[in-house]
Amino acid sequence: MVTLVCDIYYSKMRRQVFVTPKSYLSYLNAYKALYVKKYYQELDIQERNFKIGLEKIAEASIAIAKMEVSLKEEESKLKEASDKTDILIADIEKESKKAKIKNDQVEKTTQECT
């Protein structure tokens, strides 16, 4: 019937009319709806992953800043301990030299006694 009406229209108006089947149009509409839905779902997933990534980067930046502060504190403590150790080593060397001198004197005295 559609073809007949199109032929009549052509004979009266001298214009062609092309008719697309309703099932094909509904197929295109369904495909369009599916495409839009899937496209936006994927965009939502990507956006969520991107936001999570940004949050992780922000958390890591904060953690790094805290670690840098504690590292500076530990470095100052380490420097103090190193300075104290150097002083202690110098004192031990002095005492060791005194003990060696005393030991040498005792050996000399021992040899003179024998």
Write out pLDDT tens, residues 11-49: 998 888 777 777 778 888 999 999 988 888 999 999 999
Q: Two tokens at 38?
A: 């899937």
Please indicate, yes or no, if residue 7 is contained in any of the structural domains.
Answer: no
Please indicate, yes or no, if residue 13 is contained in any of the structural domains.
Answer: no
Write out pLDDT tens, residues 82-93: 999 999 999 999
pTM for the structure as a whole: 0.47
What phi and psi, each to the nearest 5 degrees, are found at residue 64? -65, -40
Show the domain range for 97: 21-113
Please indicate, yes or no, if residue 9 is contained in any of the structural domains.
Answer: no
Angle CA 11–15–18, to nearest 5 = 105
Residues 23 and 34: beta-carbon distance below 8 Å = no
Domain count, the chain: 1
Please indicate, yes or no, if residue 91 is contained in any of the structural domains.
Answer: yes
Q: Give dist(CA 88, CA 82) in Å, integer.
A: 10
Angle CA 34–35–41, to nearest 5 = 90
Please provide the size of the chain in residues.
Answer: 114
Residue 2 has pLDDT above 80, yes or no: no
